[in-house]
Amino acid sequence: MNWNTVHEFRDWWLKAGRPLRPPFEQPIFITDLVHSLCLYREGKFQVELYIIGPNKTSPSHAHPGVDSSFIFLAGDLEFGDKTGSFIDLSDKQKPQPNGAHMLLGQTIDALDGEMHSVRAFQNGGAFLSFEYWKDKEPDSVVLNWVGAPDGAIHAKILDK
């Protein structure tokens, strides 16, 4: 496949029926903050599923050389931008008429290694991370991390 941007990849993956092809090597990472699973990888592009536990906040961090586009799936979470400000989504924490979360499918980007963060409230949350790795082969943004680790487990992973 030939995608030029993370947005082209994201749009293709969604239209292609959300294909699943987790890599054999290291598809799952667990830190103090999240559980992640790489759902699909092709060349320099991949999509990871992130589930964040209740009442957790990531430190502001970046993933150098990676363009990321996040899609909200479920739960009670907010994304922080490069200034460290969180977008207050409390008025949107309710169901649509079809029973899905009002924010399902909403996107936010962290392009070219931009600083960002995420926090979850009492119900935790889940989102997809679409990634374009510009400078190296993808593994996980849990490993390609600049900023304070999200806890002791994450610090050990980063030290390896």
What is the per-residue pLDDT across 109-137, written as a single tens digit (0 to 9) for each?
Answer: 999 989 999 999 999 999 999 999 999 99
Using only C-alpha atoms, what is the Rg of the chain?
Answer: 15
Could you tell me the CA-to-CA distances from 119 to 33, 52, 56, 151 in Å, in that order? Answer: 9, 8, 6, 14
Percent over 70 (pLDDT), the chain: 100
Domain 6-159 carries which CATH code? 2.60.120.10
Closest CA to 70 of 123, 30, 118: 118
Residue 94's pLDDT band, with cuts at 50, 70 and 90, is: confident
Tell whether the model's pLDDT for residue 32 goes beyond 90: yes
Q: Where are the domains of the chain?
A: 6-159
Residue 93: is its pLDDT beyond 90? no
What phi, psi does 154 have (nearest 5°)? -65, -40
Are the C-beta atoms of residues 51 and 82 closer than 8 Å to each other? no
